[in-house]
Amino acid sequence: MASMITPVRSPIRTNQISSLYLSPNRISPSNVALKSRSLSSSSLAFSPLPEKLRVPALSKGFSGWSQHLRRRGTVVLPVVKAASDGAEIEITEGSKSFLEKFPFLITGFFFFMWYFLNVIFNILNKKVYNYFPYPYFVSVIHLLVGVVYCLVSWSVGLPKRAPIDREQLALLTPVAFCHALGHVMSNVSFAAVAVSFTHTIKALEPFFNASASQFVLGHHIPLSLWLSLAPVVIGVSMASLTELSFNWLGFGSAMISNIAFTYRSIYSKKAMTGMDSTNVYAYISIIALLVCIPPALIIEGPKLMQYGFRDAIAKVGIYKFVSDLFWIGMFYHLYNQLATNTLERVAPLTHAVGNVLKRVFVIGFSIVVFGNRISTQTGIGTAIAIAGVAIYSLIKANLEEQKKKAAAISTS
């Protein structure tokens, strides 16, 4: 008896699956019913088969078989199953992995690691400043560890290094300079005052962003955004007036950090290189490191050589000193990378709320870990400032979503 091959066709694109077929089997005169079931996947699905398509039955010597369709990447494809002698052949959806069924668990993990790494960085960073108060040198270490991490990642192809030309370098240099200035000034503030107070001052960053957008870039800022910033300014003012660790060095450097990060945002919008975020951040870190080294050598170099390193090693030992510097650099790089990865997974509104909650976590944990005493007015002012930032972030994210929807409608 002649053999027959019965192909099963599907609308799956050829660049995802090269071929899709059932293995040839000897056919007996008897018939079996072939059913089809619609699949839940919107991008990978079989065309509906006729409800009662008659095909010759399989031989009795073949008791049953199942053939998985080929996969590409992480896409889960259907499974074709056939039974023996007169049994029905049914096309069913392949079983998805647990994480594919519940993607919010992955997103939640990203948020958790972002918060965890940020809190650990701030706590360990402040502990280092308690016995090694040299923020310019520590800032260099933060960036140096991150750059080494990026170079190792490039060497193994995770990710693959994107080439950079002179034009892209010219675009990224202002961004990197502002990143370096903001980073160093943040660390000067961390070394001078309580971590909670520095983060309260840095809550003013949205106010500087709105001001730069309105008066530097010429963008129209809605009245609702300006009104939402009023509690931020009032709250920071209240917290500053009664902050027990207040000094002008810590306050002024945190304000300079706000301005630097604001201009970093402005230049980032102009520096659209087409590279992925991981490569862009790596190049920015390299340039920022080169910017930070000269002031660290000039301002703190002589002190470090005379007694800075010696005093730190005498207090905690060389092993703890070196390991602390390494880990704060690693935590700094990883939490910044996780923040970027989290933004890519969620909507701007969700990321904005998450960023506000992150600041609340850092302030709360720093007060608990270091036992910082804060006045009632400082606590109320901090709460008002954080609430203002939350309102501002929600309004801004909603406005951005409305712009995207309007742009999508106009292009359709």
Res 39: pLDDT: 39
* Token pair recorded at residue 7: 């192909």
- Residue 378: inside a domain: yes
- Quickly state the pLDDT bin for 3 (edges 50, 70, 90): very low
- Residue 44: inside a domain: no
SS3 for 56? strand
Q: pTM of the full predicted structure?
A: 0.68
Q: Is the pLDDT at 284 greater than 50, yes or no? A: yes
Query: How many domains is the chain built from?
Result: 1
- Residue 4: inside a domain: no
Res 69: pLDDT: 38
- Residue 68: inside a domain: no
- Residue 72: inside a domain: no
Res 212: pLDDT: 83
End-to-end CA distance of the chain, in Å? Answer: 58
Which 8-state DSSP code applies to residue 82?
E
Res 386: pLDDT: 85
- Residue 144: inside a domain: yes
- What is the average pLDDT score of the chain? 76
Q: Hey, which of 64-68, 95-99, 320-324 has the most confident mean pLDDT?
A: 320-324
| CA proximity to 143, closest of 290, 16, 270, 305 | 290
Backbone angles phi, psi at 68, to 5 degrees: -80, 140
Q: In whole angstroms, give the CA distance from residue 141 to residue 186.
A: 14
- Quickly state the pLDDT bin for 98 (edges 50, 70, 90): low
Q: Residue 321: which domain range?
A: 107-410
On the 0-12 / 13-18 / 19+ scale of CB atoms within 10 A, 2 is exposed
Res 353: pLDDT: 64
- Residue 196: inside a domain: yes
Q: Is the pLDDT at 84 greater than 60, yes or no? A: no
CB 282 within 8 A of CB 226: no
Strand pairing partners for 35? 90
- Residue 248: inside a domain: yes
* Token pair recorded at residue 223: 């009245």
CB 55 within 8 A of CB 31: yes
